[in-house]
Amino acid sequence: HSLPVDQSRGVVPGVTGYLAQHEALSAHIIERVATRTGQSVDWALAFQSRSGPPTQPWLEPDIAVALDDAAAAGVARVLVAPIGFCADNLEIRWDLDTIAAEHARTLGIEMLRLAPPQDDARFVDMIWELFRTGSGVSCQIGCCPNPRGPRASVGEA
């Protein structure tokens, strides 16, 4: 999922390392694929769901641009992994399964999409373990105020 560039750099309180985390996870996935297949894999990090005013810079490239680049390079098949999401949702289904998939078809590219981990037992166990041990990142009440207005206290919500 794309974000405004300033937000991805941590200029906005509470959001740090977004781009670096996505780049690291992408590289890790590709390393695992290469290890399992014994083949090197060309890859690119792309983003979906850019919104906001056109004058505000967002993370790029958009998935459509990445598909255009792949087609120009003669790529016949792409595998899309929505790593910014933990569970399947309407945004993935619309942006990737509908819009990007149709764009890939028009370019003559076969596009496959990986499912997010959502109900994979290993993912669920990991989340439970982080919760149970308190070793995960936790958010304290009031640590992420809404920049658009005052936040109601817990008693008022």
Predicted local confidence at residue 51, as pLDDT: 85
**What are the pLDDT tens digits along the chain (157 aa)?**
888 888 777 655 655 678 888 899 999 989 998 999 999 889 999 999 888 888 999 999 999 999 999 999 999 999 999 998 889 999 999 999 999 999 999 999 999 999 998 889 998 898 888 888 877 555 555 555 565 665 444 444 4
Question: What is the model's pLDDT at position 154?
Answer: 46
Residue whose token pair is 């590289």: 27
The pLDDT score that the predictor gives to residue 21 is 86
Reply yes or no: is the peptide bond before residue 147 cis, omega within 30 of 0: no
Q: Are 60 and 45 in contact (CB under 8 A)?
A: no
The DSSP-derived string for the chain is: ---BHHHHTT-STT--SHHHHHHHHHHHHHHHHHHHHSS-------B----S-TTS-B-S-BHHHHHHHHHHTT--EEEE--TT-SS--HHHIIIIIIIIHHHHHHHT-EEEEPPPSTT-HHHHHHHHHHHHHT-S----TTSS--TTS----TTT-
pLDDT of residue 9: 73
- Residue 36 is predicted with a pLDDT of 94
Helix H or strand E segment including 79: strand 77-80
Q: What is the pTM (predicted TM-score) of this model?
A: 0.76
